[in-house]
Amino acid sequence: MSRAVLLVEHAGPLTTVQDRGRFGYLRYGVTEAGPMDRQAFAIAQAALGNPDDAAAIETTIGGVALRCIEGEVTVASVGGGFHCFLDGKPVGAWGVFSLREGSLLSVRPGYWGSWTYLAFAGDIIAPAWLGSRATNVLSDFGGQRLAPGQHVEIRDAERRPDRERDLALPVTSRPRQEVRVVLGPQDRFFAPETIRRLLTESFILSNEYDRMGVRLKGPKLPIVGALDMPSEAIPRGSMQVPGHGDPIVLLADHQTTGGYPKIAVLASVDQDGFAQLRSRDSVAFRAVSAEQAVSAARTRHSALQQYLASLRQS
């Protein structure tokens, strides 16, 4: 059985092993986790012909450096506008290439994007929890955070020269400066003028940004009236507003329940693009109906599935 072993020489904060996510446990208070940019993750796996439930390494602008100390393996790098270097020479940040024993792969932040993925032609060995290797960073269950000195083992590692190529960067993979939202379910706790400010003024992503969510800075969104809502389930992309009036958009590792009013929910079709925004980036919001959000999601899903199929066959 072939294997490759990678030594972690550098790993920025929030560099983790992730698979598609941990589904079916929200009712028990367990978040799905999984990739922050689900489209980029899927493209990385498809570029190698991997199964949908394969795991990958997710890193953010802190970057990662991996040295192959045993074996060889083909790697797909996908997500954001990062810089990748193989033994000090640039390689396609959206591309497929191979590591040999002694090779050093470095991933560094580029001009845009917050998250990128390294998928491998093989199976990352990492702890599973509730049937998933997605790392929950709040509990550290499943998968693992990467830290310097650790080894990452790839089981059934292959070198796939037939897969090595540059990948096209779909326009839908770029950050979204305008994001569609569906108002509610607690927009009744906000004055019409507050709703207008949400939809006509810009917000800045603050430095309070991690896999759980990001706080936005901009016009305050004050709550009016007495809160009579119980704690309830929270979907990914919810924009909840605490008493200080700064909205918080909840992301992959969001809590599963909460009692703050949610003024809106990001349309799922724009959630990956929102996640690729960086702290201090500006974003605006545009209201759409639930029906329009569903229609856009179905159209995007169909187009993505066609693209993934073409990658798997090439």
DSSP string, 45-58: HHHHT--TT--EEE
Per-residue pLDDT, 70: 97
Sign of the dihedral through C-alpha 55, 22, 255, 181: positive
Q: Mean pLDDT, to the nearest integer, of 258-271?
A: 95
Instruction: Say how far apart CA 36 and CA 177 lie, in whole Å.
Output: 17
How sure is the predictor about 141, in pLDDT bands with cuts at 50, 70 and 90? Answer: confident
Among residues 113, 145, 169, the one where a domain terminates is 169
47 near 120, Cβ under 8 Å? no
CB-based burial label for 256 (10 Å; 0-12, 13-18, 19+): middle
Q: Per the structure block, which two tokens stand in for 97? A: 């290439």
297 near 267, Cβ under 8 Å? yes
Q: Mean pLDDT, to the nearest integer, of 127-148?
A: 91
Per-residue pLDDT, 92: 85
285 near 179, Cβ under 8 Å? yes
Same domain, 119 and 231: no
Among residues 108, 139, 169, the one where a domain terminates is 169
**Average pLDDT of the chain to the nearest whole number:** 94
pLDDT in tens, 77-120: 999 999 999 999 999 889 999 999 999 999 999 989 999 999 99
Among residues 129, 150, 169, the one where a domain terminates is 169
Per-residue pLDDT, 226: 64
Least Cα distance to 84 among 116, 42, 54 occurs for 116
In a domain, 311, yes or no: no
Residue 181 above 80 pLDDT? yes
Residue 195 above 70 pLDDT? yes
In a domain, 162, yes or no: yes
pLDDT in tens, 223-232: 997 677 778 8
Q: Mean pLDDT, to the nearest integer, of 10-31?
A: 93
Share of the chain above pLDDT 70, in %: 99
Least Cα distance to 230 among 266, 190, 185 occurs for 185
Least Cα distance to 76 among 109, 127, 21, 124 occurs for 124
Same domain, 294 and 191: yes
Residues spanned by the domain of 131:
3-169
**What is the domain count for the chain?**
2
In a domain, 55, yes or no: yes
Going by the DSSP 8-state scheme, the letter that residue 65 receives in this structure is E
